[in-house]
């Protein structure tokens, strides 16, 4: 039984090896620790990865099986699929604290020491050996592969120790890297295909033999560490990027994915944006400027990302991160709030014209397909996927009869001008000249609020334009829709 399971014992009261033995502490490997704590959470039906959306029936069950199998894991997926968050989330499955020999660089298990320092200390002091406690938050470390050297991860001969007279043939002359120092913890390596081949060799030796060799000095001790990896499929599967011996020693590959349902993508977008909308006050004479986002605007914002992932002009191997949706959503909200503040409107409601600003938050987040995008700039690709997204969502709201009925109005020479800085009241004025068929627009989000009705009007106009039922022209920040 671990001390963490004995609720009547306070770790703060145990400061020596003798007291630890009396308390009944039993050593346990990190993989066994993860295994046991995962089983307890499963029995209690607890949420294993709070904040992770859309993986309940796909990724999370695979992680559970891999941990119960006591495997090292590789998270394989495109950017923005929560690989790093999942790896960091495994910290929750560690015990709250574990004991170690005080002063030990490797956080030696008091009942199973591996370093020369800990062994000597226990031999000298016996049950009086001082014990410290290591919290689980500190038992996780991660590193980005590009630029990582053997000395960083595994270790190196320490010149300062040699200068002080330490023999090069002893363990005391070594400086341990991140992985040995995470003994009894979790180490994560991001983008493993970018890791130098020499370091990969060192890693597969640790995975298989649990020992390391630094400058010809073999350290034959059992390093107890769970190693996690992350990689993009296009680079991981490319010949020569990851040595076969390392691939062979990774226990389980966890394949991540983008949200399967748009609703999940919207939930992630709203959650990660972290914006206070209804309750967020903006100090301006004591007034507040809350934001209310119509469902169709959320759907369009996420659909833009979906269309980008499907676009022939975007490199499918690179992927389009969830951060693309999040950044665009924030920009859309910011544009609506700016209008509300400058025009003094009580309610900010995002419109299609606010999406004109998402170029600033989209640029650099798409990697264009060099074969398919030679005639398209990044800005043109962004505009194209935006139109495709509006068309897709518009089709879900309006039947064909409604489209024809509304678009026929423009055959009579009606022209309507919109813009991100046009007051909501101006839309009401423009609607006075339009037949009752325009009420179709307000079926999208039934509201008498002028700001909400303005957003609905722009949605219908943009939908008609996406279907090439009407034309559009832009000038000085204003957009005119007409026949």
pLDDT at position 374: 57
Q: What is the pLDDT of residue 77?
A: 95
The answer regarding whether domain 3-255 maps to CATH 3.40.50.300 reads yes
Question: How buried is 374 (Cβ within 10 angstroms: 0-12 exposed, 13-18 middle, 19+ buried)?
Answer: exposed
179 pLDDT tier (thresholds 50, 70, 90):
confident
Annotated domain spans of the chain: 3-255, 262-482
pTM: predicted TM-score of the whole model, two decimal places: 0.85
Of residues 289 and 185, which shows the higher confidence score?
185
Q: What is the C-alpha to C-alpha distance for residues 451 and 432, in angstroms, rounded to an integer? A: 16
pLDDT (mean) for 209-237: 79
**Nearest-5° Cα angle at 57, 55 to 58:** 65
What is the CA 230 to chain-centroid distance, rounded? 12
Residues 245-303 have pLDDT tens digits of 889 999 999 999 999 999 999 999 999 998 888 654 545 444 477 899 999 999 999 99
Whether pLDDT at 354 is above 60: yes
| pLDDT band at 38; cut points 50, 70, 90 | very high
Per-residue pLDDT of 382-435, as tens digits, reads 999 999 999 999 888 876 556 676 667 666 666 777 888 889 888 777 666 555
CA distance 31 to 135: 17
H-helix segments, 363-442 = 378-397, 400-407, 424-431, 439-442
**Residue 430 to residue 412: CA distance in whole angstroms:** 15
Contact 365, 382 (CB under 8 A): no
| pLDDT value of residue 413 | 66
Kindly tell me if the per-residue pLDDT of 158 is higher than 70: no
DSSP symbols for 140-168: EEEEESTT--HHHHTEEE-HHHHHTT--T
pLDDT of residue 3: 44
Q: Has residue 6 got a pLDDT over 50?
A: no
Closest CA to 395 of 467, 302, 471: 467
Answer whether residue 233 shows pLDDT above 60: yes
| Residue whose tokens read 């039984």 | 1
Please say if the pLDDT value at position 174 is more than 90.
no
In angstroms, the CA 361 to CA 366 distance is 11
Give 113-121 contacts, CB < 8 A, sequence gap 24+. 114/183, 114/221, 114/222, 114/223, 115/171, 115/221, 116/170, 116/171, 116/172
> What mean pLDDT is reported for the chain?
84
For residues 218 and 213, give the distance between their C-alpha atoms in angstroms, rounded to a whole number. Answer: 4
> Which of 293-302, 342-351, 384-393, 462-471 shows the lowest per-residue confidence on average (mean pLDDT)?
462-471
């Amino acid at each position: 039984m671990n001390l963490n399971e004995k609720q009547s014992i306070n770790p703060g009261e145990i400061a020596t090896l003798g007291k630890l033995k009396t308390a009944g502490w039993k050593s346990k490997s990190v993989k066994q620790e993860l295994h046991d704590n995962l089983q307890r959470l499963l029995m209690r039906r607890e949420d294993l990865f709070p904040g992770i959306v859309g993986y309940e029936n796909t990724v999370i069950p695979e992680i559970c099986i891999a941990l119960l199998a006591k495997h090292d894991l590789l998270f394989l997926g495109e950017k923005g699929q929560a690989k790093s968050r999942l790896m960091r989330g495994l910290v929750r499955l560690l015990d709250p604290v574990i004991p170690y020999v005080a002063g030990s660089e490797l956080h030696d298990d008091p009942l199973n020491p591996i370093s020369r320092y800990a062994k000597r200390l226990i031999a000298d002091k016996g049950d009086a050996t001082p014990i410290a406690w290591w919290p689980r938050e500190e038992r996780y470390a991660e590193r980005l592969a590009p630029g990582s050297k053997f000395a960083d991860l595994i270790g190196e001969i320490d010149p300062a120790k040699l200068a002080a007279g330490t023999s090069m043939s002893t363990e005391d002359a070594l400086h341990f890297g991140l992985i040995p120092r995470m003994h009894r913890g979790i180490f994560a390596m991001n983008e493993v295909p970018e890791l130098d081949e020499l370091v990969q060799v060192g890693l597969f030796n640790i995975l298989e033999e649990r020992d390391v060799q630094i400058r010809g000095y073999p350290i034959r001790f059992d390093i107890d560490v769970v190693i996690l990896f992350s990689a993009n499929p296009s680079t991981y599967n490319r010949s020569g990027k990851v040595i076969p011996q390392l691939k062979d020693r990774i226990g389980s590959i966890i394949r991540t994915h983008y949200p399967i349902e748009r609703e999940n993508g919207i939930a992630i977008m709203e959650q990660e944006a972290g914006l206070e909308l209804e309750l967020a006050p903006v100090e301006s004479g004591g007034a507040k400027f809350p934001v209310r986002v119509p469902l169709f605007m959320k759907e369009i914002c996420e659909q833009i990302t979906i269309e980008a992932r499907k676009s022939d002009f975007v490199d499918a191997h690179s992927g389009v991160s969830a951060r693309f949706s999040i950044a665009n959503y924030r920009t859309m909200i910011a544009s609506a709030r700016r209008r509300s503040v400058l025009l003094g409107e009580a309610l900010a409601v995002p419109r299609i014209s606010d999406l004109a600003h998402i170029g600033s938050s989209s640029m650099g987040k798409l990697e264009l397909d060099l074969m398919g995008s030679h005639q398209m700039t990044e800005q043109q690709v962004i505009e194209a996927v935006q139109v495709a997204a509006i068309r897709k969502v518009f089709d879900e709201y309006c039947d064909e009869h409604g489209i024809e009925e509304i678009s026929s109005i423009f055959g009579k020479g009606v022209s309507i001008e919109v813009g991100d800085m046009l007051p909501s009241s101006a839309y009401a004025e423009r609607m006075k000249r339009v037949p009752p068929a325009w009420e179709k627009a307000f079926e999208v989000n039934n509201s008498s609020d002028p700001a909400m009705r303005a957003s609905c009007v722009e949605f219908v106009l943009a939908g008609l334009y996406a279907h090439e039922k009407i034309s559009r022209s832009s000038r000085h920040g204003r957009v005119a829709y007409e026949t």
